[in-house]
Structure 1
């Protein structure tokens, strides 16, 4: 099967899937029922402090408060990167054939991301959290990345963000300790992002076909740097103060938390295997992944 035919076939399959199984968060998520403070905002095992001495000494009420803020921080990072994603995809398909199923799928994916961002924003607000925006330097780097990243580097970076969220949210959506509306949000995101990940994998593979060593080397570093920015922005240090914790101690213990590092590494095992098969796990790239505790 030629690249063009395969691409069209994949896009048509994803369009059919989207037509058959998509959600409207406005009606699917229970936005009206008040937040029950007896629920976590995420599976507690995914908290950056779970397994530390600080966590062990916290009352259960404060643990739940912390996970709600952490969930909102991760959602805010998701919104930030989804906005970057939309810019990259729009730029990639600008002025291309609108009758191409891949073009139509790209617009469908952008529509999904818009709904997801609104859903995450409303979810964070319902969790009682403030806006958690990445630090200024990361925001500016993201602005540059959105403007210049293209081809396989753009799609592999999209895949990194989606894969990390996918694994943790699969745990949350099955966890009865997590607020029901958060479980619904994560279920919607997991189902619809599975299509986005399939497209990103295909685009990455096909655009790398025939790429030389230099091009792969540059792509590898760009993708790894994007992964570092995304993952290190997920847990804002502000969540600790907003949960009533000593920020300095919390940051120190979170950075040394081997349980959390192990979870991140396990969540990225499949992703790293894929990047390795594409020749995108070079020595310089590995430096970024290790710094982000992804490998």
Structure 2
């Protein structure tokens, strides 16, 4: 008679309980952080302070080095007023797309929370995040309104297709949180680079970015911990499907978040060859897209979503680089 199988089962149960306990501790910590440190757009941003007013010709709106168009001779040859307006249009469009993405995100989070059982620690955190994303949408739209620019955000056809996103949690919560990271990580990556670029930025833009980065850090942390907790325990076939779909979602999302706005190109008559040189045939722009999903790519390697098959898809999507930490190759 041997007790090895039962001992192994008991050890696995203990490890599962310990992992669940550690995961729930993270959720409680994130919920507490949302109470202890949060912002409200109409309380914490001095919109009508003279220093915060938006002037379309303010040179501080000129494009930062993060956006490759800013260094192109065509852009540099424009008048200072035009350069500022193009830069403001770019910022306003990014905020409009951001609030549209967060609208989809909030609806998806509520669909996820709707089915959570009583006592679930995720329920409270998801509602904290939904409230914070609501505040982000308000501050982004307020910024857009004050620019007085006719920015649209997502193109119409893309916006229509995106309406399926809130229903993803009803099919796969794991896929939904990959989608969440696909939208949040690229913007977080760019905003952090902008704040570190050494340029002087408009105080309103800088305040909004700092608030967004601080609160999105919690949202990104939750999505990552959720995937770390769930994906390793998924059935093999579902895990394979998630591994196949994830690089497609991430590659598309990164391009949506970082692509130049079509209406801006038309409005300022940016030549097609300039667009190609800056955004389409530019290795630096391609590298920026790849880098913007770097943390999520590392996570996918860590939780076993990258293998010889899925690695090919990452390469096809133009977002492959060896993850820093990988559970499987």
Q: TM-score, normalised by structure 2?
A: 0.79
Partners of 2:287 and 2:315 in 1: CA distance: 17
Partners of 1:245 and 1:152 in 2: CA distance: 42
Partners of 2:91 and 2:122 in 1: CA distance: 33
The gaps in structure 2 that reach 5 residues or longer are 1-16, 322-329
Matched residue SS, 1:209: helix
Structure-to-structure mapping, 1:252-291, within 5 angstroms? 252-253=276-277, 254-281=279-306, 282-283=310-311, 285-287=313-315, 289-290=317-318
1:87 alignment partner in structure 2? 107
Deviations 1:61-115 (A, max 9, x none): 3222222111111112211211121122111121423543321011000001111
CA 1:134–1:225: 2 relative to 1, 3 Å: farther
2:3 alignment partner in structure 1? none
Tell me which of 251, 258, 265 is aligned to 1:228.
251
The alpha-carbon deviation at position 257 of structure 1 amounts to: 2.9
The gaps in structure 1 that reach 5 residues or longer are none
Select between 11-20 and 230-239 the one with higher mean Cα deviation. Answer: 230-239
2:174 alignment partner in structure 1? 152
Partners of 1:218 and 1:189 in 2: CA distance: 32
CA 1:156–1:287: 2 relative to 1, 3 Å: same
Task: Pick 1 or 2: higher relative contact order, CA cutoff 8 A, min separation 6.
Answer: 1
Select between 33-42 and 161-170 the one with higher mean Cα deviation. Answer: 33-42
Q: CA RMSD, aligned part only?
A: 2.4
Partners of 2:116 and 2:296 in 1: CA distance: 30
2:144 alignment partner in structure 1? 124
Structure-to-structure mapping, 1:159-170, within 5 angstroms? 159-170=181-192
The alpha-carbon deviation at position 294 of structure 1 amounts to: 7.0
The alpha-carbon deviation at position 204 of structure 1 amounts to: 0.9
Partners of 1:294 and 1:113 in 2: CA distance: 30
Q: Is the 8 A contact 2:31 2:125 kept in 1?
A: yes
Partners of 2:316 and 2:210 in 1: CA distance: 30
Partners of 1:52 and 1:168 in 2: CA distance: 19
CA 1:14–1:288: 2 relative to 1, 3 Å: farther
Matched residue SS, 2:313: helix
The alpha-carbon deviation at position 227 of structure 1 amounts to: 2.5
CA 1:160–1:146: 2 relative to 1, 3 Å: same
Equivalenced residues, count: 292
Partners of 1:207 and 1:286 in 2: CA distance: 22
The alpha-carbon deviation at position 12 of structure 1 amounts to: 1.0
**Runs of at least 4 residues off by over 4 Å:** none
Matched residue SS, 2:65: helix
Q: TM-score, normalised by structure 1?
A: 0.88
Tell me which of 204, 207, 230 is aligned to 1:207.
230
Q: Indicate the structure (1 or 2) with the bigger Cα radius of gyration.
A: 2
